[in-house]
Structure 1
């Protein structure tokens, strides 16, 4: 069995590489819809329900400032809108517009094709195990927040 410090380093390096690979794939998939990976990510976070910028940032694991900049650009381009938030007067909710929903839908065929191609290389059962392991690792890292 590997040393714990080695496991942490190897896990982080693998996650960094995966992040880069996912971002590159997302950029390719989002391009035909004239979106960037970041814009797709923010729109994707509010497809099911409008969220405040801070909620999107928490869900995506990115900074509030980055989400705010992206949300402002999406609103300026007519892909998202700010709505009143009944729970907080100053923290507006971000919601997709019809144009934003159409842009995300335009990504779906390429997204499905990429997923199907990946499933020919990585057994779907193994892929699901990997997803569970990644979620477990993320949850474990969350428990370290605030610990020294």
Structure 2
């Protein structure tokens, strides 16, 4: 893998850190929820559900895990991290598309676009390596 691939891994980690850190605690999530709702109202794309305790818990779990994952990719970026992050982004994109199709706020569309872009950027080198190696590649480092 190239230095460009490692830069992409770091860039996706910075994005994740900046976007998900506000979800990591109940207090920061409350602020982020209010800000996202205001943005959604201003754009006319619908609102978020109220921040009741279970929604807050799941937001905090997601935020905490993604912050830790982002820090790992920032402090010790490895090509295999791009493979796993790309796979996770495919999953996130699927669930975001599902939520949009079922009436979630259109604000989610921007996040979906970033997930798809970083997913493609991080999986592309692996797909190219697989084609070049005649399907005899390994994900392990």
Q: What band does the TM-score fall into relative to the shorter chain?
A: 0.3 to 0.5
State the TM-score, normalized to the length of structure 2: 0.32
Higher relative contact order (CA 8 A, sep 6+): 2
* Higher Cα Rg, which structure: 1
Q: Which has the higher strand share?
A: 1
Q: Which has the higher helix share?
A: 2
